Amino acid sequence: MKFFKSKFFIITLIVAASIAVVFTAMSFLGYSSYIKTALHYVTVPVQKLSDAVGRAIDGYASYITEFDRLKKENEELKEQINGMIDEVQSAQAIRAENDELRRMLEVKEEHLDYKFEIADIVGREDGNYMTVFTLGRGRNNGIDRDMPIISSNSGLIGRITDAGATWSKACSIIEMNSSVGAYVERSRASGIVVGDYELELLGLCRLSYLQSDADVAVGDRVLTSGVGSVYPRGLIIGTVTEVKYDESLRTKYAIVKPYAEISGLNSITVITSYEKYVED
């Protein structure tokens, strides 16, 4: 076919191959290209709109698939709430909001050196091997690359991976490429919390590189150690749900359930500034 021998096709092929090589290499070297940044300015507003559509569809889809369960649950709930009045319901809602704000205040009081920026999640690009959150705030709000992000209950979610003027992208700690310096609160046993493909599907992560005699038990809380340049010390990563022994490496490792509810997030808190931890 003549078309495939034409200059046009050969040039297009070279351009496509060049884009693949150059942009992939730039991404791995940590440079966010200007073209990609410019494209985000155009696509983020469209994404906001279509994500809202997606959420609406999601709501209807779950309504259809879980109809029977919801119906049964609804009947049970009707029995339970029989006698309850509207004021009580609204009071509960206010209390829940109050609790959340109080938790945020506790975090602020506990870590006076922290500066926060709350950002809404405007897009969730769930790839088949990576999940990236798009946040509606960026450099104009003091958010920049490698800043830690936490949930309202002060559980660690992950970090900012990319930032533009009005948007930023974030990845969670359960992603495969993630690693966070951590220690067990009770015994001070230290290790590294890493993402794992199998566990990511279950919303879990792994506390690796523990000493073979490390004192770790189910229910222990795992906190950030502050080692490295991204996460401050003392943020809650999660709780240990299982402890295992790696025969080949002769080390212990633990399965950790993140404290933050990563899958159902609508907004997150970015720690824009904190005092670095210095080891004694």
Partner 1 sequence: MQRVSFAAVLRVILTSVYAALSVILQCSVFPHLRLFGVIPELTLCAVVCIACCEDERVSCIIAVCAGFLLDTVGGDRFTLSPFLFLLAAALSIVLSRLVFRKKILPALISGAAALTVGALKTAVILAASGAAFGSALVKTALPQLLYGTVILLPVFLLTALHYRIFRYGRESKLKR
Q: Which residues contribute to the site for partner 1 (CB under 8 A)?
A: 1, 3-4, 8-9, 12-13, 15-17, 19-20, 22-24, 27-28, 35-36, 39-40, 43, 46-47, 50-51, 53-55, 57-58, 61, 123-130, 132, 134, 161-162, 169, 176-177, 196-198, 201
Closest approach of partner 1 to the CB of residue 275, in Å: 31
Cβ neighbors of 268 (< 8 A, separation 6 or more) are 118, 119, 121, 133, 135, 149, 150, 151, 157, 170
- Classify the C-alpha dihedral 128-129-135-140 as positive or negative: negative
Tell me the sheet residues that pair with 95: none
Nearer to partner 1, 21 or 96 (CB): 21
Nearer to partner 1, 82 or 128 (CB): 128
**CA pair distance 95, 256, nearest whole angstrom:** 30
Tell me the sheet residues that pair with 168: 135, 163
Closest approach of partner 1 to the CB of residue 9, in Å: 7
Closest approach of partner 1 to the CB of residue 103, in Å: 28
- DSSP three-state, residue 30: coil
Structural contact between residues 161 and 191, judged by C-beta atoms closer than 8 angstroms = no
Closest approach of partner 1 to the CB of residue 5, in Å: 12
Nearer to partner 1, 55 or 115 (CB): 55
Closest approach of partner 1 to the CB of residue 172, in Å: 13
Closest approach of partner 1 to the CB of residue 41, in Å: 11
Nearer to partner 1, 16 or 88 (CB): 16
Nearer to partner 1, 161 or 224 (CB): 161
Nearer to partner 1, 22 or 93 (CB): 22
Structural contact between residues 124 and 134, judged by C-beta atoms closer than 8 angstroms = yes
How many Cβ atoms are within 10 Å of 243's Cβ, its own excluded? Answer: 16
**CA pair distance 23, 33, nearest whole angstrom:** 8
